[in-house]
Amino acid sequence: MKKIIALAALAFIAAHASAADKTWYIGGDVGSTQFKADGDKERKTGFGATLGYSLNENVAFELQARRLGKASLTETVGSVNYTTTLKANSLSVSVLGILPLNNEFSLFGRLGYARNSLDLSTKASNAAGTVSFDGHKNKALFGFGADYKINNNLSLRAEYVNLGKNKVNVGGIGELESKIQQFNVGANYAF
């Protein structure tokens, strides 16, 4: 992790020292997050914020914070209902390889590193308390998407991001593994 941060910092410093077409930008998006665990799939709405730096028309660096969503499942065992809730968040750093197709439209690929946080809680209908577990995983991420430039400052973006398989250790019971993917639509503002 320290090596990746050091490399990103060196790339950032080198980028800051050259050419004039560099641009800072901020963005926001809404996404559909798919959680897959134990053969079950559930989609939830999430959102994210981006701080980016465009080195040139082919390379950009981004920091992102994402609230990936919350998935819930209720099961009945005998006469007791058990409600299990999984909340997921992610902080990431990425490099984007960008292929401009014309002045407005471009395609990009994303490679990065994410710190994914998973919070799992279970509550029984006949109990007063909740049992909680959490997990924090550092994972490689990848994605791809398209960007449409409305003017010099505003652009629209659609993308797919795969945040990998993430695990939460559930006490002495075992591990819950969840694969997390997102489809996002958003806007960026360059300044």
What pLDDT digit, counting tens, does each position of 92-105 carry?
A: 999 999 999 999 99
Q: Which of 40-54, 89-103, 126-140 has the lowest mean pLDDT?
A: 126-140
Q: Which of 32-36, 44-48, 52-56 has the lowest mean pLDDT?
A: 32-36
Beta pairing partners, 165: 179
Is 140 or 126 the better-scoring residue by pLDDT?
Answer: 140
Q: Which of 3-7, 38-42, 60-64, 133-137 has the lowest mean pLDDT?
A: 3-7
**Verdict on whether the full-model pTM lies above 0.85:** no
Say yes or no to pLDDT of 170 above 90. Answer: no
Cα gap 90→8, rounded to integer Å: 18
Say yes or no to pLDDT of 114 above 90. Answer: yes
Say yes or no to pLDDT of 107 above 60. Answer: yes
Tell me, what's the pLDDT at 6? 55
Q: Phi and psi dihedrals of 2, rounded to 5?
A: -65, -35
Cα gap 50→53, rounded to integer Å: 10
Ramachandran class of 39: left when φ > 0, alpha when ψ lies in -120 to 50, beta otherwise:
left
**For residue 12, what are the CA distances in angstroms to 92, 105, 113, 148, 190?**
16, 25, 16, 25, 17
Beta pairing partners, 106: 100, 147
> Could you tell me the fold of the domain covering 2-190?
Porin (2.40.160)
**For residue 183, what are the CA distances in angstroms to 104, 130, 169, 175?**
21, 31, 27, 26
Domain ranges of the chain: 2-190
Strands (E), 78-153: 80-100, 105-124, 130-149
Tell me, what's the pLDDT at 69? 86
Tell me, what's the pLDDT at 83? 82
